[in-house]
């Protein structure tokens, strides 16, 4: 079976497997329904300040798994819903930034600089249309790069990397994430090492579960979903609740602006913003492909680059549509590219990618990594079919973004009225319930809360939670690669330096840490 057969099978699986109803005789599959639902939910949460796409993905995942189960048939509906959230939330984030000068997520902070002045001039409609067009353009560009690059990168990895090189690559990725995320390289490394250490509790190859302190509950280690949701979601909930308690900001003071003047997006406007979208989409895609660097940096770099090239009036920061375009195209272009390291290497680079990987780890039938794109003569590689099914859901969600996204986006201004201090405790209960429903034991709830307080402490101490979580997820892969590498090199203790590629990865890992440690002051 060739590549085209796998692509076609992926598309057919998404559109025709398990139809739930039909419209005019056309069957609508469960995957398509889930993408649409996820997309609507994504716009909703993206437009709610304080709740972003990752929050929604975290809360949804245990519920989805409880509904669809763990077998391979669940894969595309679950991934479709998560992809829908990812896509919907990228456009929703600009809404509160433009209408209320309140960035829904950190990456839409730069959108407020030009979006809100336009709103004050009576042109919120134009600002929202520019944000929508730029965001969807950036996202689509990024997806095209993902779909064309990930398979080739995976084939290269499969061809050139053996176990020692794979172990060295994971070490390089962790070193990169530790060094780049956060203001202190040493704290980033501590977070990653701690994540690795905690992941090794209760696992191992020996009959005696290591480091479990004799506890039966710990014999299989901490539940992965509890660790991820605890540190990423509950840690953020606790920290945000404390921040609100300290500030007690009044969110009810919303100014209403009279809509006047030109609120449409004309062809001449599109011509003006296209160069900025092109530059920012490229920046966002490049940044998205690197592990650990998020959409906030992409938005900042996109905006700064756009400002450098912008001439004429209004200037950036005074209501220039080019400013909105530069920011939104950059931060949205990160989403697709983030999946490049996940699908080609099995290494997640950001929080959204963590949840995609978590879904595939929980549901059987698909393990992201270079083997996904391996062609076997006269056989169907089911994992490749799923990968192209995933790409199909992304393209379909992009289609929804282009056609319906703008309309739904403009309805979401009302979300600013939801008081965050009342919403986050509901998120807390929803997360704990979702964990319990999946694990059916209070131990998992207590573990989640424990990791939540760990996540809170790490945030208070400026330790990178992303480095911790990525390390936690990759810990078993790293140990397995090290065991295999040790075995295939004939018990060579220097197996990480056995070949030129692994030596290059290890040298790069050390260089990244040294470079960022020396420039620490600048970063902070």
Partner 1 sequence: MQKFSTAFQKAPWTLGLALFFIVTSLFTLFVWIPIDIETGVIETFRRRVTIGDAMAPTIMTVGILVTSILMGLIAIIRPVSAVEGLDRKSFYFIFRLVIAIAIGLALMMHAGPLLVDLVNALGGEIGTYRNLRGTYPYKIFGYMLGGFALIFGCIGVVENRFTLGSAGVSLLAVIVLTILYEVPFDNMLLPPNGNN
Calpha distance 129→406 (Å, rounded): 7
Spell 492-508 as b/e; 16+ CB within 10 A means b.
Answer: eeebbebbeebbebbeb
What's the min distance (Å) between Cβ of 194 and partner 1? 7
Q: Are 459 and 181 in contact (CB under 8 A)?
A: no
Residue window 483-502: x/- pattern of binding to partner 1, with contact defined by CB under 8 A: x--xx---x-----------
Does 430 bind partner 1 (CB under 8 A)? Our answer is: yes
Q: Are 395 and 336 in contact (CB under 8 A)?
A: no
Calpha distance 155→153 (Å, rounded): 5
Q: Which is nearer to partner 1, 16 or 484 (CB)?
A: 484
Does 244 bind partner 1 (CB under 8 A)? Our answer is: yes
From the list 106-114, 150-158, 372-380, 456-464, the region that binds partner 1 by CB under 8 A is 456-464
* Residue of 70, 152, 197, 309 interacting with partner 1 (CB under 8 A): 197
Does 204 bind partner 1 (CB under 8 A)? Our answer is: yes
* Residue of 148, 367, 403, 462 interacting with partner 1 (CB under 8 A): 462
Residue window 405-424: x/- pattern of binding to partner 1, with contact defined by CB under 8 A: ----------------xx-x
Q: Are 324 and 98 in contact (CB under 8 A)?
A: yes
Whether the CA torsion 424, 428, 429, 430 is positive or negative: it is positive
Does 253 bind partner 1 (CB under 8 A)? Our answer is: no
Helix (H, G, I), strand (E, B) or coil at 23: strand
* Residue of 37, 194, 219, 503 interacting with partner 1 (CB under 8 A): 194
* Residue of 3, 20, 437, 507 interacting with partner 1 (CB under 8 A): 437
Calpha distance 421→417 (Å, rounded): 12
Q: Calculate helix-pair angle for 267-289, 124-160, nearest 10 degrees.
A: 30
Does 217 bind partner 1 (CB under 8 A)? Our answer is: no
Q: Which is nearer to partner 1, 91 or 189 (CB)?
A: 189
Alpha helix (H) residue ranges in 207-338: 224-229, 235-247, 267-289, 295-309, 321-337
Enumerate the β-bridge partners of residue 19. Answer: 29
| Cα separation values, 147 from 7, 53, 244, 327, 338, Å | 11, 22, 41, 23, 12
Tokens of 124: 């919120």
* Residue of 482, 498, 509, 512 interacting with partner 1 (CB under 8 A): 482
Does 510 bind partner 1 (CB under 8 A)? Our answer is: no
| Cα separation values, 91 from 68, 131, 172, 407, Å | 28, 7, 33, 11
What's the min distance (Å) between Cβ of 496 and partner 1? 11
Does 250 bind partner 1 (CB under 8 A)? Our answer is: no
Does 40 bind partner 1 (CB under 8 A)? Our answer is: no
Does 514 bind partner 1 (CB under 8 A)? Our answer is: no
What's the min distance (Å) between Cβ of 178 and partner 1? 9
Footprint on this chain of partner 1 (rule: CB under 8 A): 66-67, 184, 186-187, 189-190, 193-194, 196-197, 200, 204-208, 210-213, 238, 241-242, 244-246, 248, 421-422, 424-426, 428-430, 432-433, 436-437, 440-442, 445, 449, 453, 456-457, 460-463, 475, 478-479, 482-483, 486-487, 491, 517, 521, 524
């Amino acid at each position: 079976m060739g590549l085209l057969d796998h692509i076609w099978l992926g598309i057919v699986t998404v559109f025709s497997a398990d139809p739930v109803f039909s419209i005019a005789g056309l069957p609508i599959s469960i995957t398509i329904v889930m993408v649409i639902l996820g997309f609507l939910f994504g716009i909703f949460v993206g437009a709610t300040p304080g709740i972003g796409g990752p929050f929604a993905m975290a809360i949804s995942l245990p519920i989805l798994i409880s509904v669809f189960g763990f077998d391979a048939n669940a894969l595309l509906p679950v991934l479709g819903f998560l992809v829908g959230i990812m896509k919907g939330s990228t456009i929703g984030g600009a809404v509160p930034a433009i209408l209320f000068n309140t960035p829904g997520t950190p990456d839409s902070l730069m959108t407020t600089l030009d979006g809100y002045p336009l709103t004050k001039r009576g042109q919120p409609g134009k600002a929202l249309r520019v944000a929508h067009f730029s965001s969807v353009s950036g996202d689509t560009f990024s997806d095209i790069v993902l779909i064309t690059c990930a398979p080739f990168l995976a084939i290269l990895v499969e061809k050139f990397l053996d176990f020692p090189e794979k172990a060295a690559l994971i070490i390089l990725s962790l070193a990169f994430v530790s060094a780049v995320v956060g203001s202190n390289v040493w704290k980033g490394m501590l977070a990653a090492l701690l994540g690795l250490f905690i992941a090794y509790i209760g696992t191992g190859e020996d009959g005696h579960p290591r480091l479990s302190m004799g506890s039966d509950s710990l014999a299989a280690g901490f539940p992965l979903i509890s660790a991820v949701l605890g540190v990423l979601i509950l840690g953020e909930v606790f920290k945000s609740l404390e921040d609100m308690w300290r500030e007690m900001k009044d969110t009810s003071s919303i100014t209403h602006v009279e809509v006047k003047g030109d609120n449409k997006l004309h062809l001449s406007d599109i011509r003006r913003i296209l160069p900025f979208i092109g530059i920012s989409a490229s920046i966002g895609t490049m940044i998205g492909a690197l592990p650990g660097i998020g959409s906030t940096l992409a938005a900042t770099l996109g905006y700064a680059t756009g400002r450098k090239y912008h001439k004429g009036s209004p200037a950036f920061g005074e209501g220039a549509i080019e400013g909105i375009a530069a920011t939104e195209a950059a931060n949205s272009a990160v989403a697709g590219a983030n999946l490049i390291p996940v699908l080609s290497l099995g290494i997640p680079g950001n929080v959204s990618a963590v949840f995609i990987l978590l879904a595939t780890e929980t549901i059987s039938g698909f393990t992201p990594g270079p083997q996904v794109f391996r062609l076997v003569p006269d056989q169907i590689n089911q994992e490749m079919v799923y990968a192209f099914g995933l790409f199909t859901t992304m393209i379909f969600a992009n289609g929804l973004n282009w056609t319906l996204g703008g309309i739904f986006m403009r309805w979401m201004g009302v979300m600013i009225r939801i008081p965050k201090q009342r919403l986050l405790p509901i998120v807390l209960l929803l997360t704990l319930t979702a964990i319990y429903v999946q694990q059916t034991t209070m131990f998992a709830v207590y573990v989640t809360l424990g990791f939540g307080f760990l996540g809170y402490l790490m945030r208070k101490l400026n330790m990178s939670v992303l480095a911790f979580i990525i390390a936690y997820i990759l810990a078993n892969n790293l140990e397995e690669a090290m065991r295999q590498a040790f075995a295939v090199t004939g018990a060579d203790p220097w197996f990480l330096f056995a070949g030129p590629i692994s030596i290059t990865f290890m040298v790069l890992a050390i260089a990244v840490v040294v470079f960022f440690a020396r420039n620490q002051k600048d970063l902070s």
